[in-house]
Structure 1
Amino acid sequence: MKYTAVSAFEAARRAREPESIPKNDLAASLAEAPYDGHLETGSNAEDVDEVVPSVATESNLPLSTWRPKGKNVLRDDDEVWEISMKPDETVTVIGEFDVTVLSGVVSVYGAMLHPNSVSQRVYALSTAALPVIMAKKATSLRIKSVTRSIESLGKYSPLFRNISVQDEKGRSFKYLASPRDDPLRRSLSSLEISDDTKRVISRINARLEANERPRILAVGAKSSGKSTFSRILCNVLVTRPGGQKVAYLDIDPGQPEFGTPGQLSVVEVGSPILGPPFCHPATTRSLSYRLIRSHNIAATSFKDEPDHFIICVMDLLRHVPKSLPLITNPCGWVSGTGASVLLQLIGQLRITDVVVLHPVETQLQNDIEAAKLNVHAVAKRPGGSSTKTPAELRSMQTMSYFHQKQKTATASDLVWLDKSISKMRPWMVSYDRIDSGIAAILSYNHAPHPEFLAEVLNGMVVAVTVPDDGLIDPDIVRRTPQESLPYMVSDLHGCSSPVDPRESNCIGVALIRGIDTENKRLLLLTPLHDAEIASLMQRQIVLVRGSFDCPEWAFLEDQYCATKAAARAVDTERNAGNMDEQPWVTLQEPVGIEGSIWRLRHPPTAADVMKSMT
């Protein structure tokens, strides 16, 4: 069957309006329009690996083998659901919830939970296959409703709409016997762990039992299940008896597990990973996912700077705790330059076990086997793909990062702020003096013309990099003619050298909300903790811009947040000529079938400037 891609706007129009009814203004109907699961965004060659059509289909395949039968439901109220399970029975629950084992043992996403385990927060969302709770012996289980924090972001972006659930009792979860039980009729599937995966993990686990410290790397193309395997393996190892922690080398800049796109990091994992990447960011304060060190290549691929990528990874390796087993999750680029870099890393990271998730090219398989390592093969798994495109997942991960707030050091205390990014308080950093907070602005790859640096920066995402003292040479820092922004000069080809990762580290990313040219300050939005920002007051930072995705989600949050009544009020103000222009977006007058629509304003690039001069 052939699927024809249409925009979310067009899908909403077709679903809601027969041809005989006059078209409503789009801005007024955004808040109530049904959403087809995808935003219309730019794409590139690396984003077309697999796009799953978002057409809801009913399935007779069961999601759970457990069925409610009177006495096996111990409690069922507005907050808590307690059940008893027989050995090998499975339960699939969608939503956000805390799971506690009262007696017995269960496995969920590879993690083994028992009565001595602390309560675990689970994010079983419709963006991916749902984790299955399986009883290993006779078990009593408690599932508790929580405040639906992550889905509150659906108010500001359709990407987060309808990814969770609210059951008939108002709880943040719902038991599913089959996909037919889903009130939203979504295409849902459960996460199945193959026999190949179980055998490989069992062999690696046996190495730990023998007091070895294996270093494991999973190799697989995009949509091969590489990240899922790494997550399952991490959960198995971190929930072993004795409370073993795991070092996780996260070096997939396109779909990182613990950070925003472009980030490479080493993380100490102390709790199981029970949700998609946008639900468990690593921070320096977290006890569950402690960020040890990170770098940012300011791009979703290392294709333009493979040497810099390798240097970053090798610096991260220096900070891996030697007492912990290491799991490395590389990117899914397994051909050409990607394969060459992968083979180089396997040797330099001193990997002991390589897990090959088929299919991969025969030559790559032969080269891996020639390295004389422990090579484990896992057959291609059917289904289990995300309902979001890679570009959409990156947007969700970045938006989630900027809205997050960690109340305490535990993973269950992570919440997402229920307000648009325009309402958040910015961090104001001076840039006018040599000893000011911002030492320089550095552009990876091609730099914009200095006259347009301010326009290019405004509203964009940058990596906040802290160099060692004395690393930035003042002689290579220039200032723009109008705003006096400090920037590092580029070579004759318009390219700049990256900051040396051995003498710097990235502490996070920020969005430039505005430039105060009168007081020579940048207004930065970042979820960094106040203590981290305070520690930077005595340091100089470098803001790195590059090939980050355009943060369109940030520009449109206020528009999506508007209710139907507010949208009509905006319409009235606009017609009366009293409406101020929104930041970063321009209102076009009604054209065609869609009517008026907010579109992004894009400043001219350096290439545009050069063309205008010729």
Structure 2
Amino acid sequence: MKRKAEKQQSSATRSAVSAVAARRARQQQLQVASSHDNAPTDNKEPEPPAKRPRPSPDRNSKDAAPSNLERANGNRLAAPSKAVSADLAFELSNIDAAEALKRETSEDGKLTIGDENEEEHTDVRNNADHATPSRIPSTAENFTLSRNKLRKSDVIYSDEHMLCVRLKEKTTLVLIGIYDIWVKRGVISLMGAKLHPSIKTYRVYAPSTHSLPVIKCVSGVEGFAEIELQSCSSNLQGLKDISPYYSRIWNSSKTIGDSATLSGSFKRSFSTLYTSSDDPLNRPLRPLHLEKKWSTTIKSLSRRPHSLRALICGPKGAGKSTFGRYLLNHLLTPTPDGTSDNLDGIAFLDLDPGQPEFAPMGNIYLAHLREPCFGPPFSHPNLDNSRYGKIVRCHHIGATSPKEDPDNYALAIMNLLDQYRTLTATYPRCPLIINFPGWIFGLGLEVATWIIRSTGLSDVVYMSEKGPTEVIEPLGQAVSEAGVTLTTLPSQPVDMVTRSSAQLRSMQMQSYFHMTQSEGLLDSFWNESPLIHSKPTHVSYSGPQPGIAGIMVLGNHYSPQVLRDIIDGSIVAVVAVENASAIPGYSGIEAKPDSDSHTEEEPTDAMVGDQNEDNEESNADDTSASQSNQRVKDLLNESITRCPNSGLPYLFWGAGSSTPLDPKASRSLGLAFVRSIDVSAQRLELISPIPSSSIRDAINQGQSLVLVRGMIDSPDWAFSEEYYAARNAEQDFITQISQSKKSSATGPGKDNDETKREQDEQRRRLQERVRAASKMPYLKVIEDASALHQNEGRQENGTWRLRKKVYISSDSEVD
């Protein structure tokens, strides 16, 4: 007994030492991460690689979250300011579709995707068991998510698609997945908004990539609020079949909370969670709670909405986007009668091109919002025909950081502020919320202080209580000179990150190209088919009436011979040139019709009356606009250099580096993916979610369209969509056969041979699809993994040509 007690004491001591060591290791990691975050870093430095999560010993291996994706920012296409190519080193490991991808960045900056441990393989995909890209610690704490466990008395009615419950005052409920919420009684708070009883439903997107929204009962009838939660299908979940980033982020199988509210089959698009350990996929889930000072500040700012002009700034990762989202929702909260206190909506000026809220990366914009929005940015990457509002004006910066071209960034901000002043002429009670990027040092600080001094702000919110002094002092001086209130709030960084910043940008970009928003529909819909199956738009770039006036590449000047390689398979912005002043170097003023030239017509005009005067003025305006538009076309044609062999119209202004179009006379209509270039027909194949009405309106106004290739991340997600879709279709078929064998009778059937032949034929076709996807453009199948880095980085025609490769390693691709 004594020896046994000594062993137990020794074991407890070792456990305590291990716990202390683990805690010290985590503290050291946080200190290192903090030092890296506080240090000014270049935007193109790779992010830290992902860490493999430790599988939980008390869970089945197929419920554990296998690691799958370690990637850094090396997945970007080489920036035009350095070395640009339309190709990217891309190795797709042909492992099981349920397996994860492990991205590694080699020393030369090429992106590869390697194999995961095949021992973690599982054939079950009904829970969306792709592995999760993550960089989470090896140990995860059990967090309380809901402060209310639903009892039978709390459930009013329930079925496989919906759930109606009563929430006691001050209690909370957390769900994961996608759902519509309808408040029937009482008042609840959700992501900053207070929702009162009405006939309106709100769509909520709650993925595991972000902290989960918390539903809280603020007040109720007889102490309870009544809400109905409805399953919905937006097909955003379907993107998991074409991208590993979207896998394992929604609800999977029934949880403990679901079991208490449903006894039958489970088909809901959401699940109830009480603690993070209730998650069947064992993910590091967290509730979305705010700091007390945050809540107090939001309430204070909301008391004077009509005069509010607030700038939200601070270092990277401080929670600026979360604070801004809560503030917007709180201001847009409808009143009990179903209207909003702020009838003029809210102007949201998003100046963060790296993580924009309502647009894909590389853009800054002014949006006019009318309804609260519940979900991460990739659930609303576009506001075309949206219920939430509209984009008033947008400018394509062409980079994820304003540091690439601060002058153009400042000009774009000035133009957007002018647009806000124009907007207030129609909506005088429209407040302004400005989201500033984490670029708060050096030139970024100068831009922030300039906005404070020149915009007429009422408040500045700085999201850090730790300084630094070289930022706080200039901000304090600027707000003092402008008579603006400065509020300093503590940072609220996310301690658990399951997607890196680059991965979230890829998710938002992929969502942007797959999302559709038809007029008359309240909520968006996503097409889960690969872009290769989308019908492209054919745009001519030469001839008497070309669809585009030219192609620009931001950054350094490049030989016209390599323009085709630069834009082929890339993301470009479709920019409308409104008048000639947008063209760099053009300083002339558009000539107006001379009044003397109409002297002879004036007596006639006076005799025919006022109506003819109006018609004459209208005709004069149309003539002036026509002349201006023709002048724009002439100036663009004069600046075009036709590329040899391809005939592409190359536009370049400047000396050494490209000068962008002036934001005062140009605007971005959206982004497009250059699927291919047909040299023989002199046309481009573009895939774009830009509404045809926007293009038609720009053309009807006589505006010229220019394609602008910036320095944003390469669309490697688009190159591999068909490959993942083919792999997952094959795996689904294998899983279906396996399950049918288990459920069928053990005795032989008369049609077994025929069924076997049909299954073999179907599997052969699916394997052929995988092979065909491996041989797509931008992909090259290699037999030997040792050849992966051979002949890479070879310079061709003055640019680096990077190759995307698929490594054959699974039975599905072996004859």
TM-score with structure 1 length normalisation? 0.88
* Counterpart pick for 2:722 among 552, 555, 558: 558
What is the CA distance between 1:572 and its match in structure 2?
Answer: 7.1
Distance 1:435 1:361, change over 3 A: farther
Pairs aligned (count): 583
What is the CA distance between 1:27 and its match in structure 2?
Answer: 4.6
Deviations 1:367-389, CA, capped at 9 Å, x for gaps? 22222211112112254554211
Residue aligning to 2:645 = 482
Matches within 5 A, 1:284-295: 284-295=384-395
Aligned partners of 1:488 and 1:496 also within 8 Å: no
Distance 1:579 1:279, change over 3 A: closer
Residue aligning to 2:312 = 218
Secondary structure of residue in 1 paired with 2:307? coil
Matches within 5 A, 1:311-390: 311-320=411-420, 321-322=423-424, 323=428, 324-358=430-464, 359-370=466-477, 371-372=479-480, 373-381=484-492, 383=494, 386-390=497-501
- In percent, how many aligned pairs have the same letter? 31
**Greater share of helix:** 2
Residue aligning to 1:283 = 383
- Measured in 2, the distance between the counterparts of 1:274 and 1:15 equals 29
What is the CA distance between 1:287 and its match in structure 2?
Answer: 3.4
Secondary structure of residue in 1 paired with 2:404? coil
* Counterpart pick for 1:152 among 229, 238, 244: 238
RMSD: 3.3
- Measured in 2, the distance between the counterparts of 1:269 and 1:33 equals 40
* Counterpart residue identity of residue 180, structure 1: S
* Counterpart residue identity of residue 283, structure 2: R
Aligned partners of 1:282 and 1:289 also within 8 Å: no
Distance 1:263 1:44, change over 3 A: farther
> Given the alignment of the two structures, is residue 429 of structure 1 paired with residue 539 of structure 2, yes or no?
yes
Aligned partners of 1:437 and 1:541 also within 8 Å: yes
Distance 1:124 1:367, change over 3 A: same
Distance 1:106 1:219, change over 3 A: same
> Given the alignment of the two structures, is residue 88 of structure 1 paired with residue 170 of structure 2, yes or no?
yes
- Measured in 2, the distance between the counterparts of 1:572 and 1:89 equals 52
Secondary structure of residue in 1 paired with 2:402? coil
Deviations 1:454-485, CA, capped at 9 Å, x for gaps? 11111000010000134451211111111111
Secondary structure of residue in 2 paired with 1:285? coil
Aligned partners of 2:723 and 2:773 also within 8 Å: no
Secondary structure of residue in 2 paired with 1:508? strand
Deviations 1:179-225, CA, capped at 9 Å, x for gaps? 011111100000111110111112111223xxx42111111111100
What is the CA distance between 1:518 and its match in structure 2?
Answer: 1.3
What is the CA distance between 1:431 and its match in structure 2?
Answer: 0.8
* Counterpart residue identity of residue 178, structure 1: T
What is the CA distance between 1:39 and its match in structure 2?
Answer: 4.7
- Measured in 2, the distance between the counterparts of 1:500 and 1:427 equals 27
Residue aligning to 2:161 = 79
Matches within 5 A, 1:418-497: 418-433=528-543, 435-468=545-578, 469=629, 470-471=631-632, 473=635, 474-493=637-656, 495-497=657-659
- Measured in 2, the distance between the counterparts of 1:460 and 1:123 equals 29
> Given the alignment of the two structures, is residue 237 of structure 1 paired with residue 331 of structure 2, yes or no?
yes
- Measured in 1, the distance between the counterparts of 2:501 and 2:784 equals 32
Residue aligning to 2:99 = 33
Residue aligning to 1:612 = none
**Most deviating of 159-168 and 82-91:** 159-168
Structure with bigger gyration radius: 2
Residue aligning to 1:584 = 778
Aligned partners of 1:585 and 1:600 also within 8 Å: no
What is the CA distance between 1:300 and its match in structure 2?
Answer: 0.8
Distance 1:600 1:277, change over 3 A: farther
Residue aligning to 1:261 = 361
Residue aligning to 2:119 = none
Deviations 1:84-121, CA, capped at 9 Å, x for gaps? 01111100000000011010000000011111262100
> Given the alignment of the two structures, is residue 130 of structure 1 paired with residue 217 of structure 2, yes or no?
no
What is the CA distance between 1:7 and its match in structure 2?
Answer: 8.9
Distance 1:564 1:378, change over 3 A: closer
What is the CA distance between 1:272 and its match in structure 2?
Answer: 1.1
Distance 1:386 1:270, change over 3 A: farther
* Counterpart residue identity of residue 570, structure 2: M
What is the CA distance between 1:603 and its match in structure 2?
Answer: 8.6
What is the CA distance between 1:298 and its match in structure 2?
Answer: 0.8
- Measured in 1, the distance between the counterparts of 2:772 and 2:144 equals 56
Distance 1:602 1:141, change over 3 A: farther
What is the CA distance between 1:566 and its match in structure 2?
Answer: 4.5
Aligned partners of 1:58 and 1:179 also within 8 Å: no
What is the CA distance between 1:34 and its match in structure 2?
Answer: 3.9
Secondary structure of residue in 2 paired with 1:88? coil
Deviations 1:11-41, CA, capped at 9 Å, x for gaps? 99x9799xxxxxxx97542412146xx7546
Deviations 1:322-363, CA, capped at 9 Å, x for gaps? 220111111111112222222122223322100111133223
Residue aligning to 2:117 = none
> Given the alignment of the two structures, is residue 104 of structure 1 paired with residue 186 of structure 2, yes or no?
yes
* Counterpart residue identity of residue 59, structure 1: E
- Measured in 2, the distance between the counterparts of 1:44 and 1:252 equals 29
Aligned partners of 1:64 and 1:91 also within 8 Å: yes
Residue aligning to 1:310 = 410
- Measured in 1, the distance between the counterparts of 2:230 and 2:403 equals 45
- Measured in 2, the distance between the counterparts of 1:590 and 1:6 equals 26
> Given the alignment of the two structures, is residue 417 of structure 1 paired with residue 527 of structure 2, yes or no?
yes
Distance 1:174 1:512, change over 3 A: same
TM-score with structure 2 length normalisation? 0.67
Residue aligning to 1:20 = none
Residue aligning to 1:530 = 692
| Runs of 5+ consecutive residues of structure 1 not aligned to the other structure | 18-24, 46-50, 610-614
Matches within 5 A, 1:530-549: 530-536=692-698, 538=700, 539-549=703-713
Residue aligning to 2:749 = none
Residue aligning to 2:321 = 227
Deviations 1:406-446, CA, capped at 9 Å, x for gaps? 12355x42011010011111111111136411101011111
Residue aligning to 2:589 = none
What is the CA distance between 1:604 and its match in structure 2?
Answer: 4.6
- Measured in 2, the distance between the counterparts of 1:578 and 1:6 equals 31
> Given the alignment of the two structures, is residue 406 of structure 1 paired with residue 517 of structure 2, yes or no?
yes
Distance 1:573 1:178, change over 3 A: closer
Deviations 1:133-187, CA, capped at 9 Å, x for gaps? 0000120011100115212111111011011113431210001000011111100
Residue aligning to 2:397 = 297
- Measured in 2, the distance between the counterparts of 1:123 and 1:80 equals 16
- Measured in 2, the distance between the counterparts of 1:107 and 1:460 equals 42
What is the CA distance between 1:54 and its match in structure 2?
Answer: 3.0
| Runs of 5+ consecutive residues of structure 2 not aligned to the other structure | 1-24, 30-47, 56-61, 69-90, 110-132, 255-265, 579-628, 732-762, 802-815
What is the CA distance between 1:570 and its match in structure 2?
Answer: 8.7
**Most deviating of 506-515 and 522-531:** 522-531
